[in-house]
Amino acid sequence: MKILFIHQNFPAQFLHLAADLAQTPGNQVVALCMHQRAAPAGVTVRRYQMLRPASPDIHPLLADQETHVRHAEACAAAAMQLRRDGFAPDVVLAHPGWGEALFIKDVFPHAKLLLYCEYYYALEGQDVGFDPALPPLSLPERWRLRLRNSTNLLSMELADGAVSPTRWQRATYPAWAQEKIGVIHDGIDSERLRFDPGARLALTLGDGTTRSFQPGDEVVSYVARHLEPMRGFQVFMRALPELLRRRPQAHVIVAGAEACGYGHAAPGGASWKQHMLDEVGAGIDLGRVHFTGQLAPGDYLALLSISRVHAYWSVPFVLSWSFLEAAISGLPVIASATPPVLEFASRLDVPTIAFFDAAAFAGALAERCAAAPQGPRQPRHLAETDLAQCLARQRHWLATS
């Protein structure tokens, strides 16, 4: 079988499936992407580039659509070159979020087009409007968000099949689209998450000295792609003064980029990190709170072994891999009682707390810190995220959609 993956950040969510298919005799696996990322062995990667710059005169409500069309055009041009080189896929598996799938059926009309449906935006009831402290969307912002879904809708019309990784993510789509979407998780490699008693994480502190952390240390971890309210960063920061007061030996390791991520920018042009330090910094010992930026994969895995308790907070939005990986690794997790988390929390023995209750959050983290350090942890098993089972279901989906 010939398979074409399309994702601007490939391999991303396709990491395990692409690796599995590339190692299967008789398969030819190719990926189209924009950014340079390490690809699984056996996958031929072709990069595409935009063919034209953004128009300075585009209607502001159509800025996202123009970007999506530019991605679609560039991706189609790269696909046409693949066709000229003799590659005609049986199956195209694409993430539709950036428009890359829009014109692919015109290049490969006989290929099945399957979509990875990550998220469908809503004007209310999900991430938008969840935090009453953030300003409501203006009418033009509402209109732009409504239009942002148009690429999703056009891609779904073209698709022969689709999949979402969780039931909640599938449920964000309109009812007619959900009929086309199955639920199969990307898969969690639990072997990769096994407890490492020899794990070490060396951090450079504010005074220029270096401190190394290891299992048994009293460490609270927080991991997000970006430090922002979409991942409850403001609640986490407000919980720190009480947590550090109750646990005078605890250290907090905060991993994530300062740049604005999925949601609103912080007031006054500051990063959310700086904004929250301005609010609560006087009440915390910054010698015990360590901001690492985004961690390298090996350091991230070391942190999961070192941490005594992991904090995960999220508004109703795409569930982070870090939540499932931390919980499945056997690391105790305290999480927000929000729908994406609640889909898995009880089965992973993860206690949940109301999103905005920083005092309860601090108390739960302190209680977990007070417990005796765990010995070697056993990864938890969750059938619907088990890598082998997920790959088997994904292969069946590819063959039968």
pLDDT digits (tens, 9 = 90+) for 319-342: 999 999 999 999 999 999 999 999
How many degrees, rounded to 5, is the angle at CA 349 between CA 14 and CA 182? 35
Residue 6, token pair as written in the block: 């399309």
Q: Look at residue 382 in the predicted model and tell me its pLDDT.
A: 93
How far, in Å, are 3, 46, 112 from residue 26 at the CA level?
11, 20, 18
170 & 222 share domain: no
Torsion angles phi and psi, residue 3, rounded to 5: -125, 135
Cα-Cα-Cα-Cα dihedral sign, residues 259, 201, 289, 204: negative
| Same domain? 250 vs 283 | yes
Distance CA 55, CA 114 (A): 31
pLDDT score, position 260: 80
pLDDT digits (tens, 9 = 90+) for 344-368: 999 999 999 999 999 999 999 999 9
Task: Count helices and strands (H / E) in the chain.
Answer: 14, 15
Paired residues of 226 in beta bridges = 257
81 and 172 fall within a common domain: yes
Range of the domain at 60: 2-187+387-400
Residue 200 and residue 142 share a domain: no
- Listed residue (142, 72, 138, 135) closest to 100, CA to CA: 72
Over residues 41-93, the pLDDT tens digits come to 999 999 999 999 999 999 999 999 999 999 999 999 999 999 999 999 999 99
Q: Is 31 exposed, middle or buried (0-12, 13-18, 19+ CB in 10 A)?
A: buried
- Total count of domains within the chain: 2
Flag residues of the chain having pLDDT under 50: none
Residue 176, amino acid: W
Q: Over the stretch 279-296, which tens digit does the pLDDT of each residue have?
A: 999 999 999 999 999 999
Are residues 174 and 214 both part of a single domain?
A: no
Percentage with pLDDT > 90 across the chain? 89
Q: Which burial class, exposed, middle or buried, applies to 2 when counting CB atoms under 10 A from its CB (0-12, 13-18, 19+)? A: middle
Is residue 11 reached through a cis peptide bond, with omega within 30 degrees of 0 on the bond before it? Answer: yes
* Residue 264: per-residue pLDDT: 80
CATH code, domain carrying 258: 3.40.50.2000
Same domain, 84 and 144: yes
- Specify whether 114 is located in the same domain as 246: no
pLDDT in the model for residue 59:
94
Same-domain status, 230 and 288? yes
Are residues 176 and 316 both part of a single domain?
Answer: no
Same structural domain, 106 and 247: no
Q: What is the DSSP letter of 60?
A: G
Do 143 and 6 have their domain in common? yes
Q: Give the model's pLDDT for residue 136.
A: 86
| Shared domain check, 335 and 203 | yes
